[in-house]
Amino acid sequence: MRAGVLHGAKDLRISRIDIPQPGPGMVLLRVRRVGICGSDMHYFEHGCCGAFVPTRPFVLGHEFTADVVSAGPDTSGPAIGTRVTVNPARACGFCDYCKSGRGNLCRKTIMLGSASTTPPTDGAFAEFVTVRADQCHALPPHMSDGLGAMMEPFAVALHAVKRAGSVAGKRVLVTGGGPIGLLTLITARAFGATPVTLSDVVAGRRETALKLGADAVLDPTAKNLAEQVRELSGDGFDVIFEASGAPPALRQAFDLVRPGGTIVQIGTLGADDVPLPANQLMAREIQFIGSFRYGNVFDEAIRLVETGRVDLEPLVSEVFPLEEFPQAMQRAFAKDDVIKVQIQIH
């Protein structure tokens, strides 16, 4: 089969590799559409992703729509022919975290298209991929392949908004207007947050946020930022979702959140450790909480899109064939006018 194989930094090749065979409990999927994620871009740019250094060339990709084509021995799951999206994080299912509904914290998780394990696990920028049957979530017939491939990043945003507790009626700020920030904006709004503000240093991204329903946008480097924030939120925002991964954005969040407010960290910070104003956290009783991947939110994510409660169609910017994967990767780095770039495989 054809696959987009990462050999090292900036070295992405369309190669022929063997079709994987589904083992017990696994299914073979024929891939339709795959989205390029920030982590794929990170692997492409640096050859690794933080502490995850691949020990061999591997296939990227974990946001996708596919058809079930066959099943391994002793497998119960979706029927052959079912069109599905996939939770790419395969938790063990047996540990305390998994049993208590926090499988995203499972230490034995195997992530598709990732070097978080050794050897790395091949992902979905390929004609076929195998996953455990229970990672599959059937898609409604009228949902497009492009939207199916948006369920994974949407699940990240949905999980983050749930981590904040109820956002209904709350003044929300999202820092960072990349795909996850925009999805968080859309999700918080759908869950009743008002007003919803997005901040980003890139003007094009602020414009996109307004088009997608932000009530206001902020340039975090603006001289009169404090004044603008006072107008929008009085004493500060009730909830801030930090989706940029930029240390200055996180630091600023502590100044922009109101006493008793909540900061949810979604973005991966480039630096290992970042100095934080712990006295502010203490004296103003700020809640600072993490949000990692997703809990078991995929079916809810599908329902929210299926019923039109959230509209993710405007986020799919461009679609390329697999042969043009390297060009598509380059395109994904454009910040001004591109949100999500996807690859059509079949």
Q: Which residues form the interface with Zn ion (CB under 5 A)? A: 37, 91-92, 95, 98, 106
Select 69 or 92, whichever has its Cβ closest to Zn ion: 92
Q: Nearer Cβ to Zn ion, position 22 or 178?
A: 178
Q: At what angle do helices 298-306 and 151-163 cross, to 10 degrees?
A: 110
Which residue is listed with tokens 């989205």?
35
Smallest separation (angstroms) from Zn ion to the CB of 38: 7
Smallest distance from the beta carbon of 150 to Zn ion, in angstroms? 10
Minimum CB distance to Zn ion smaller for 158 or for 218: 158
Least distance in angstroms from the C-beta of 45 to Zn ion: 15
DSSP secondary structure, 86-112, as one string:
E--EE--SSSHHHHTT-GGG-TT-EET
Instruction: Give me the torsion for CA of 218, 223, 224, 229, rounded to 10°.
Output: 40
What token pair was written down for 327? 């060009």
Compare residues 16 and 107 and give the one whose CB is closer to Zn ion. Answer: 107
> Least separation, in Å, of the C-beta of 41 and Zn ion?
10
Least distance (Å) between residue 169 CB and Zn ion: 30
Residue 86 CB coordination number (10 Å): 27
Q: Closer to Zn ion at the Cβ: 5 or 332?
A: 332
Coil, helix or strand at residue 52: strand
Placement of tokens 């502010």 in the chain: 280
Minimum CB separation of residue 273 from Zn ion in Å reads: 24
Determine the Cα–Cα distance for residues 334 and 319; give it in Å rounded to an integer.
Answer: 14
Longest dimension (CA), the chain: 63
| Minimal distance, residue 96 CB to Zn ion, in Å | 8
Helices (H), the chain: 38-46, 96-99, 145-148, 151-163, 179-190, 203-211, 225-233, 247-256, 278-283, 298-306, 325-332
Instruction: Please give the Cα distance from 323 to 167 (Å, whole number).
Output: 43
User: Tokens 């697999």, residue?
Assistant: 322
CB nearer to Zn ion: give 69 or 95. Answer: 95
- Three-state SS at 168: coil
CB atoms within 10 A of CB 2: 16
Q: How far is the CB of 170 from Zn ion (least distance, A)?
A: 26
Nearer to Zn ion, 92 or 201 (CB): 92
- Amino acid, res. 303: R
Decide whether 20 or 38 has the Cβ nearer to Zn ion: 38
Instruction: Specify the pairing of strand 340-344 against strand 316-321.
Output: parallel
